[in-house]
Amino acid sequence: MTRIVYVNGEYAPENQARISVFDRGFLFADGVYEVTPVINGKLVDFGPHMERLERSLKELRMAWPCTLEELTRVHEEIIVRNALKEGIIYMQVTRGVADRMFNFPKETQSSLVVFPQVMTLVDTANARTGVKVVTTPDIRWLRRDIKTVMLLAPVLGKQEAVEKGANEAWMIEDGHVTEGTSSNAYIIKDNVVITRPLSNRILAGCTRRALFRLAKEHNVKIEERTFTPEEAYAADEAFLTSASQFVMPIVEIDGRRVGGGQPGPITRKLREIFLQEAQA
């Protein structure tokens, strides 16, 4: 199916959409992005994604490409024009088009690209069986709190995971897990969910934020602290969160089975309550 995508003010079939070779996203990865899930044709957690976008733009001193109202309308229009029921909407803002030079160009209009991707999010085989992760060194820069399109380290990490028969790589820094290449990381020990506190070393996940709220409402305890791969191997349960996977059980880490190799009860409960709210 030919998708309808949005590029700088226009909707076009994907094979006719164009951006400049001088776009700073293309030349420098000088851009930020968001991925918002869609269930039953409705955006999930859109507000938090736009709050994070605003923060990313501010940290990089990049201008909004349009108003928040216009961006919201573009998301809704992309859902309608593509009859999107379940999947994600990807959006990217870059510092725009200018002659190639490292410092910020003057008076450049930010570029905006928005497109949909059909995906099964709710009833997935991975959620039923759980997924495998491997660990790899975290070789990223130190502003991982900004959601930039500069994703070569995560690309290499995910490729390594896939080549080892796993679905995700957990990145290790100073002997501790930071996060997944495109997800936040959690273990559960003695009924307590353990996850790294927010800092410049990880992305503040919107799914993580929703999970914290729901866990509190359902009396699931969360402890924010760093953890080692060895602790993860010995955990009762493990899972990851992201906009495209929600709460995803992990059943194997570096070839070692976690929680008997089955999705754990607390993880399953958290996924269920997350989906209940997202589908409501």
**Residue ranges in contact with ligand PDD by CB under 6 A:** 35, 179, 182-184, 203, 205-208, 241-244
Tell me, what amino acid is at 87?
G
| Residue among 149 and 262 whose Cβ is closer to ligand PDD | 149
Shortest Å, Cβ 119 to ligand PDD: 10
Determine phi and psi for 269, rounding to 5 degrees. Answer: -65, -45
For ligand PDD, the closer of residues 97 and 167 by Cβ is 167
From 42, 106, 147, 189, the catalytic residue: 147
Rounded CA gap, 23 and 117, in Å? 23
Q: 44 or 98: whose CB is closer to ligand PDD? A: 44
Least distance between ligand PDD and beta carbon 189 (Å)? 21
Query: Cβ distance 237 to 76 under 8 Å?
Result: no
CB of 255 to ligand PDD, least distance (A): 23
Whether 147 is catalytic: yes
Q: Which is nearer to ligand PDD, 113 or 243 (CB)?
A: 243
* DSSP character string of 61-92: T---SS-HHHHHHHHHHHHHHTT--SEEEEEE
Beta carbon nearer to ligand PDD, 55 or 104: 55
Shortest distance, position 40 Cβ to ligand PDD, whole Å: 19
Nearest to 14 by CA among 25, 3, 23: 3
Torsion of CA 119, 125, 129, 133, to 10 degrees: -40
| Beta strand spans in the chain (E) | 4-7, 10-13, 31-39, 42-43, 87-94, 111-118, 131-137, 168-173, 176-180, 184-189, 192-195, 221-224, 237-242, 246-253, 256-257
CA angle 151, 158, 273 (to 5 degrees): 95
Tell me how far, at minimum, the Cβ of 203 lies from ligand PDD, in Å: 4
Query: From CA 17, how far away is CA 128, in angstroms rounded?
Result: 37
Two structure tokens written together for 74: 């573009």
Instruction: From 212, 248, 56, 210, select the one nearest 144 (Cα to Cα).
Output: 56
User: Which residue carries 């859902």 as its tokens?
Assistant: 79
Minimum CB distance to ligand PDD smaller for 82 or for 242: 242
Q: What does the DSSP 8-state code read for residue 203?
A: -
The nearest distance, CB 35 to ligand PDD, in angstroms, is 4
Residues annotated as catalytic (active site), given as ranges: 147
